[in-house]
Amino acid sequence: MPLLTDSIPQGNSRADASVWFTFVSPASGKVAIHTEADFADNIAVYSGSCGAMTEIGANAFGQHLELSGLTGGELYYIQLSGFFSGIEGNYCISIDNLNSATPTNDDCASATLLSVGAADCTPANNQQATYNETIHSSCDLFATASIWFKFNAPTSGKVYINTGADFVHTATLWQGTCAALSEVQCAYNPYRCDDSVLFDGLVSGQTYYLQIASSKMPFGYLYGDVCVRVTNGNIINQRLKLTAYLQGAYDATTNRMTTHLSDNYLLPTSQPYDAAPWNYTGTNCIASNGETGVTDWVLVELRSSSDPNIVIARKAALLYADGMVADYGKNGVDMPNVVIGAAYYVVLRHRNHLAVRSANSIILPNENALDLTQSNAVAGGAAQMALVSSGRYALLSGDFSGNGVISVADYNSYAAQVAAINQYLSADANLDGHITVADFNGYAPNASKIALPEVRY
């Protein structure tokens, strides 16, 4: 419990227990600070230097603070405190650059062209957008700050659209010309972590306009980032049911895995496999870093049944305490790029456990879960696994680099991180949020273990 013995926010002299952050102002001079505090917080921002500070902005009711007129390149200090003594808790602070310019796709005529099936989503921001239109979406007559995209409908006449918006919004599809638009279909605040909304009955080759706008809330409007992806609706996701254990998190007394990371709000809300060696850019995410019952994120792959070196699809998913691998709120992982009737090998990766491949290829959707807790279900058998209780196997812990080889390089990661607490770190073999000798013990017995060639990086 840090006591507030330093600067007192002008707006709340009773503020207590402060923590400090710094940021360098972007060239725009406009930022938005979000605390996601689970207690009554107080935000204050200062210029100057420690001991000689000037308060330049504050919100005594916390959660959110927008600032403008900052000096680009200058260092500023954020003080996050409890509203008064004893008001303390968790937070997850973030800061956005609020571009001062009107977005280039502020109106229909300047809509950004999207390519259906593009590998990456298209980013934009509606912070400074206006609402020039006389038309209104039937999903929200009072939406504001709209930005525009357009695409040409594929021959299937179906698309999935994921707006990627991180604020409460309405997505509306229009047809016609910008001067005379008619509504095709709309969706109120589609959840960005879901697979997408299906828009059906489109005319092949026709141009459609997608309007994304901030929806009216009881207290006003929220604005923010979007990252829009349009995929061909004829690509049907197929559900993979999959069960596995991680050695480091397995508890033989309960036959379940621990959930320390989510219990302690350490689980990232966006999938963590967007860095080397995985470089998976998917936008899979969850609403809360304390999602109940989750052990960690995993990365699932489908491989060709004729050549297990060929990756057909990848998706990050959640591993639950009972071993189920699933999209949030589902009983399996909806995998893309699946051909009906075709068989695939399944590869399961975890960021600090040794990756495995299924012994057999399977057809999706599978009724009975592929059970990778059984060594005969895994290519290479028991040698690729850890026996964690009678008849139950788990992925081997200790591959802190995720490259498929447990080596001294992994020990070096442990040595570099040892004694860190309350973090989401690669050397956390037992997934408790701390780097201790317990993690060394999760590495040492498995040192020199090597994954199958097709799953090594």
Binding site for Ca ion (CB under 5 A): 399, 401, 403, 405, 410, 428, 430, 432, 434, 439
Closest approach of Ca ion to the CB of residue 406, in Å:
6
| Alpha carbon distance 83, 60 (integer Å) | 7
- Scanning 135-230, the segments in alpha helix (DSSP H) are none
C-beta of 210 vs 321, nearer to Ca ion: 321
Nearer to Ca ion, 192 or 434 (CB): 434
- The Cα 283–Cα 286 span in angstroms is 10
Dihedral sign of CA atoms 395, 401, 402, 404 in order? negative
Answer for the pair 22, 76: CB distance below 8 angstroms, yes or no.
yes
Q: Residue 68 has what DSSP assignment?
A: -
Specify the residue, 261 or 325, whose C-beta has the smaller distance to Ca ion.
261
Burial (0-12, 13-18, 19+ Cβ within 10 Å), 34: middle
Rounded least distance, CB 226 to Ca ion, Å: 36
Q: Closest distance between Ca ion and the C-beta of residue 191, in Å?
A: 32
CB of 276 to Ca ion, least distance (A): 12
Tell me how far, at minimum, the Cβ of 398 lies from Ca ion, in Å.
8
Q: In this complex, which beta carbon is closest to Ca ion, that of residue 243 or of residue 401?
A: 401
Shorter beta-carbon distance to Ca ion: residue 303 or 434: 434
Chain centre distance of CA 263: 17
Q: Is the CB of 317 or the CB of 451 nearer to Ca ion?
A: 451
Rounded Cα distance between 217 and 224, Å, is: 15
Q: CB nearest Ca ion: which residue?
A: 401
Min dist CB 445 to Ca ion, Å, is 15
Closer of 224 and 442 to Ca ion (Cβ)? 442
The least CB distance from residue 442 to Ca ion, in Å, is: 8
368: DSSP letter? S
Q: What angle do CA 103, 229, 146 make, to 5 degrees?
A: 30
* Cα separation values, 147 from 129, 183, 267, Å: 7, 16, 32
CA distance 431 to 416: 17
CA distance 164 to 153: 20
Longest dimension (CA), the chain: 70
